[in-house]
Structure 1
Amino acid sequence: MHPTDEVLAAIALGDKVSHSDIEHVGGCPNCSATVAELTDLKARVAATADVQLTDPPELVWAAIAAEVDDHRHEDLPPATASTSSDAPVQNPAPVSERHWSRRAWLFGAAAAGVAIGVAGSQLVPRLTQSQPTLLAQTTLDTLDTKKPGGEATLINSAGTLELTLRVTPLDAGAGYLEVWLINTDLARMVSIGVLPGGAPEMVFPVTATLFDQGYRIVDISREQFDSKPQHSGDSVLRGTLA
């Protein structure tokens, strides 16, 4: 006869148990494996003794409750067509096989509490992190005919500003397409990257400093392979973020 879960937990905890139980565990692969798992769990709990735990928000507890409820319903025996009160009650398994004893349960609960605390301190910020925020957007038009050719959006994603361009296929001619941010004073500009020819969408990281200093005019220009870093003056599309 196997020792109870309580006895196995006591062995893992280092508590005093009978010599016969210890001998049984030493010769029983299943019980020995269980004690090894509990001992490893004990070590993990001890290793997290200095971890500062944080209380997860209600949404975390709600998710845990839903998961537990799902498993509880999975464990219920299937309903039968018979509803007679004379039908014998079937017990699917002895209680000792379906549940840990109180002490073994407390052992697991203590470890689970630490695990939830550690996971909560790491995952809660990610669970509660705000979604990307739209800061500004604009339609990109041609300079001569003001024909719309695309759009630009500036979003804040986890503290990083990203400028996304969505345009109709553009012809770079014999050169390439370059993306610029021009200051609203029309006296300063900075290149933020190259738009591959034919690319319908591209994301460019930008700094909040540029946006705050007035670099809000998005410009796509045709450039030649002439080793000149200045804007060519041949703008294909332009729009002001607002």
Structure 2
Amino acid sequence: RRERRWVLPVLAAAAAAVLAIAGTVTVQRFTDRPAPPRVTAKASLARLGGAPVAAGGAAEVIGGSKLRLDVRNLPLTTGYYEVWLIDPDDTTRMMAMGNLSSAALSGAADVVLPLPPGADLNRYRLVDVSAEAYDGDAAHSGKSLLRGTLTN
């Protein structure tokens, strides 16, 4: 009988240790997750004259280093769509950010483009999506379809 009295407390202690270890591992998994990237500015992209009525989208600056776009219902084109940051006080001052992929045009969200280091988003706060032709001219075509102003 004496030998059996110690078995139950030892089993209980072992079970408690297993539960403590499992709880610690679970808590660490939830607390060690990196924080989601911080959105530092947003813009709602409204359609301009040449875009279909259903066209629209949104832009977010992520962590100050990336521009995430969700663009919907742009028309099919024989060219491509370019994303620009424009100075609203002098619309001749602009930075080309990159092209929208064909996935973005088919309805997929979250096209992410890198921002140039040191880009002044207080100055270049208009996000513009333009239709461009494959003509070798890197300048803005003047055919803006979507535009919105970044706000903090």
TM-score, normalized by the shorter chain, greater than 0.5:
yes
Q: SS of 1:209's equivalent?
A: coil
Q: 41, 47, 52: which one pairs with 1:142?
A: 47
Counterpart residue number, 1:236: 145
Bigger-Rg structure (1/2): 1
More helix by share: 1
Using the size of structure 2 for normalisation, the TM-score is 0.67
Write the letter of the residue equivalent to 1:153. Answer: E
Deviations, residues 3-45 of structure 1 (Å, cap 9, x unaligned): xxxxxxxxxxxxxxxxxxxxxxxxxxxxxxxxxxxxxxxxxxx
Q: SS of 2:41's equivalent?
A: strand
| Structure 1 residue runs without a partner (length 5+) | 1-85, 99-126
For residues 172 and 210 of structure 1, the distance between their equivalents in structure 2, rounded to whole angstroms, comes to: 31
Q: SS of 1:184's equivalent?
A: coil
Counterpart residue number, 1:169: 73
Write the letter of the residue equivalent to 2:120. Answer: F
Q: Which of 1 and 2 has higher RCO (CA within 8 Å, sep 6+)?
A: 2
List structure 1 runs of 4+ shifted beyond 6 angstroms: none
Between the two proteins, what is the percent identity of the paired residues?
34
Q: For 1:85-234, list aligned pairs within 5 A.
A: 88-91=4-7, 127=32, 130-144=35-49, 149-156=56-63, 161-185=65-89, 186-197=91-102, 198-199=105-106, 200-201=108-109, 202-207=111-116, 209-212=118-121, 214-234=123-143
Q: SS of 1:207's equivalent?
A: coil
Using the size of structure 1 for normalisation, the TM-score is 0.44
How many residues end up aligned between the 2 structures? 123
Write the letter of the residue equivalent to 2:48. Answer: L
| Structure 2 residue runs without a partner (length 5+) | 15-31
For residues 139 and 171 of structure 1, the distance between their equivalents in structure 2, rounded to whole angstroms, comes to: 19
